[in-house]
């Protein structure tokens, strides 16, 4: 026999709440004697947790109705919350709530939620996040300085000169080292011009002066960082939480997204000039570097 929908919803809400509050006691189908009525009351999900010298309790009621929950249900639940002495009352209904139910719940300080879960069940959601992809690329220039009292002739591009330390150990070329530093995020990535950036840091560097002698030099780069912005919806593969229908926010401990490639972003997302022009505020901002090849 198939499990009743109301039971499936209660178990889903139980799972979500346990994930949101792992340190709390989360019980299903809790029975409590009412303080006002003196009769046994049933709570779908009962959450308790000690905070200092206080014991907090939350009563959660699940509504597996096909239509939005109405004001009458909110008022009845408010009576249950008072009777069992709960610190907080929460209603969960996948079908949502009527406008008057929302007003009544606000008056009684009852929170209203919809489950947001990508698991295999009737209320499975296909979720996505408005996101901004911020790609950073840079044009690079190379420079060299020396004050050694010897002749100096530049016979090849500075980027391709072989560089050594004072023990004459090879350090690579300026291009090789600068490429690695950019690709690893060592250099500034803020849009704009960045001048006089060290390539080899504090290491004393030497190159051939063009006449077979080693000359001390300082090698540096200049960067012009440019930015490309793309706006789109990032699909969420896994999420488990609640949508607060009164605020529009989603409460969750974590979520997982699938693989996102730069080529997919460039071909399917909308290129935008700035953040201020976006139709909605992005939840995520992803910054990527256009890496250089050696």
Residues 6+ apart with CB under 8 A from 119: 12, 240
pLDDT of residue 294: 64
Give domain 5-117's CATH number out of 2.60.40.10, 3.40.1350.10, 3.40.50.720, 1.10.238.10: 3.40.1350.10
Q: Which residues of the chain are modeled with pLDDT < 50? A: 1
Paired sense of beta strands 127-145 and 284-289, if any? parallel
pLDDT of residue 1: 36
**What is the tens place of the pLDDT at every residue in 131-173?**
999 999 999 999 999 999 999 999 999 999 999 999 999 999 9
pLDDT of residue 3: 64
Break the chain into its structural domains and give their ranges: 5-117, 129-233+259-294
User: Beta-carbon neighbour count of residue 28 at 10 Å?
Assistant: 17
Beta strands in 146-191 (DSSP E): 162-164, 170-173
Tokens of 58: 């939350």
In whole angstroms, give the CA distance from residue 289 to residue 226: 10
Longest dimension (CA), the chain: 102
Paired sense of beta strands 270-272 and 88-92, if any? unpaired
pLDDT of residue 244: 96
């Amino acid at each position: 026999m198939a499990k009743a929908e109301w039971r499936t919803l209660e178990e889903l809400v139980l799972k979500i709440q346990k994930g949101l509050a792992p340190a709390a006691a989360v019980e299903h189908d809790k029975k409590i004697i009412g303080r006002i009525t003196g009769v046994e009351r049933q709570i779908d999900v009962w959450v308790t947790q000690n905070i200092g010298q206080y014991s907090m309790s939350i009563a959660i009621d699940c509504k597996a109705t096909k239509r939005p929950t109405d004001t009458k249900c909110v008022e009845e639940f408010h009576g249950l919350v008072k009777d069992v002495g709960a610190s907080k009352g929460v209603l969960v209904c996948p079908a949502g709530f009527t406008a008057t139910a929302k007003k009544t719940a606000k008056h009684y300080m009852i929170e209203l939620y919809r489950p947001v879960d990508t698991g295999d069940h009737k209320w499975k959601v296909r979720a996505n996040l408005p996101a901004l992809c911020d790609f950073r690329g840079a044009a690079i220039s190379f420079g060299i300085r020396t004050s050694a009292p010897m002749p100096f002739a530049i016979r090849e591009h500075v980027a391709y000169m072989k560089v050594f330390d004072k023990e004459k150990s090879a350090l690579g070329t300026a291009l090789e080292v600068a490429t690695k530093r950019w690709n690893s995020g060592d250099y500034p990535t803020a849009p704009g011009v960045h001048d006089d950036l060290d390539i080899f840091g504090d290491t004393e560097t030497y190159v051939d002066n063009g006449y077979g002698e080693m000359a001390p030099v300082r090698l540096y780069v200049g960067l012009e960082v440019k930015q490309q912005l793309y706006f789109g919806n990032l699909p969420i593969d896994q999420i488990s939480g609640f949508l607060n229908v009164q605020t529009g926010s989603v409460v969750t401990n974590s979520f997982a997204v699938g693989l996102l490639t730069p080529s997919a972003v460039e071909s399917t997302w909308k290129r935008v000039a700035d953040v201020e022009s976006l139709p909605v505020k992005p939840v995520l901002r992803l910054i990527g570097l256009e890496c250089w090849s050696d």
